[in-house]
Amino acid sequence: MPYPSTLAPVRFVITGSAGMLGQDLIAAARAAGHDLLAIPRAELDIVDGAAVTQAIAAARADVVVNCAAWTNVDGAESDEDGALAVNGAGAGNVAHAASASGAWTIHVSSDYVFDGTKREPYVESDPVEPLSAYGRTKLAGERAVAQAAGDRHTIVRSSWLFGAGGPCFPATILRLAAERDELNVVDDQVGCPTFTGHLASALVQIAARRPLGVVHVAGGGDCSWYEFAREIVARAGSSCEVKPCTTADMPRPATRPAYSILRSARGDEAPALPEWRAGLAEYLAAVSVGSTR
C-alpha cells in the first residue's frame, strides 16, 4: 500500500516549534491544510511536567510532535543531567500528556543512539549502543516515550539535520569558507545529511499512517562530513579549498559514531526522502532568498 500523500485535516501540536525542524514542520502542516498549535520553548519548558500536561490537554490535539530537544552534543558531555532532563524526562512528559489527552505522539530521535561500528545501514531492529552523553539521553527519551505513550507513538530516528531555520553544518561551512582560504573537515565519519524541510513533510505523512514504534527517516544517499562540506563550498561558488582530515586530527568532547547511515526495514511505513544533495539545493535557495530580504 503506497504512503498516503494527504491526511484528513487534524490538529497538530508542535513542541519546540521555534527550532529548525519545528519551523519547517509548521510550514509543512499548514501547507497540507492542517490546524496546529505551535509552542516554542520560550512558552513551554518540556521539563515542567505539570505545565506540559496542562498545555497539551488544553490544545485538544490529534497528533503531538515533539521537536523540543537539547541539541548541543558536546555540551551534553559536561552537563549530562541537563541534557537528560530535556531529552529523556522531557520527552516522556510530552508523550504522557499526549497519551492522557488521547493524542498520538511523534517523537524525533537520533542516529547517535548507535555506536557506528556497523558497516551497512542501520535499521530499526539493530542494537543500540550510544557512545556519548547526548546519545544516551536521546535513547532515554525513546524509552520514556515508548513507556508513557504505550501503543500511541512513533519514534522517528533521523540524522545530520540541517535547515534554514537555525544553526547547522552548511551554515557553519558557508561562514568559514567566506573567512578562510582553506578548511579541514573530517572524512572518516559517514552519515545521511537530512534537510529539515524534507523531514518535516515526512512527519506530516507519518501522522497519516501512524506506525507504532521506531521508524528511520533520513536523507537519501550518504557522505562524509568532508564530502558534504566540499559540495556546500562548490555549490556556493567559493574558492575556499576543503581538505580531508581524520577524527583524531580534530578531537571533540563527544565521541561521534564513525558510521551512522540510517535506512528503514519497515517498507511503506517509512517515507523515503530525497537524496541529500537535493536537500542541500533547497537549503541554499532558502538561505539565498533570506539574505536578500
- List the end-to-end C-alpha distance of the chain, in Å, as a whole number: 43
3-state SS, residue 196 = helix
What is the spatial distance between Cα 262 and Cα 44, in angstroms, rounded to a whole number?
A: 31
- Answer yes or no: are the C-beta atoms of 203 and 8 closer than 8 Å: no
Instruction: Find the farthest-apart pair of alpha carbons in the chain and give their distance in angstroms, rounded.
Output: 55
H-only helix segments in 162-211 = 169-179, 196-209
Residues in contact with 50: Cβ distance below 8 Å, sequence separation at least 6, in sequence order: none
Per DSSP, 119 falls in state S
Helices (H), 89-168: 91-100, 133-149
Query: Residue 286 to residues 41, 115, 282, 292: CA-CA distances in angstroms?
Result: 24, 33, 6, 10
**CA angle, residues 40, 176, 20, in degrees to nearest 5:** 15
Give CA–CA dist 141/59, Å, rounded: 23
From the candidates 122, 134, 226, 259, give the one annotated as an active-site residue: 134
Which three cell numbers mark 25?
514542520
Q: Which three cell numbers stand for residue 66?
A: 515533539
Q: At what angle do helices 276-291 and 225-236 cross, to 10 degrees?
A: 40
Verify whether residue 122 is a known catalytic residue.
no
Put the strands of the sheet holding 63-66 in their side by side order. Answer: 35-39, 11-15, 63-66, 104-110, 153-158, 213-216
Residues carrying an active site annotation: 134
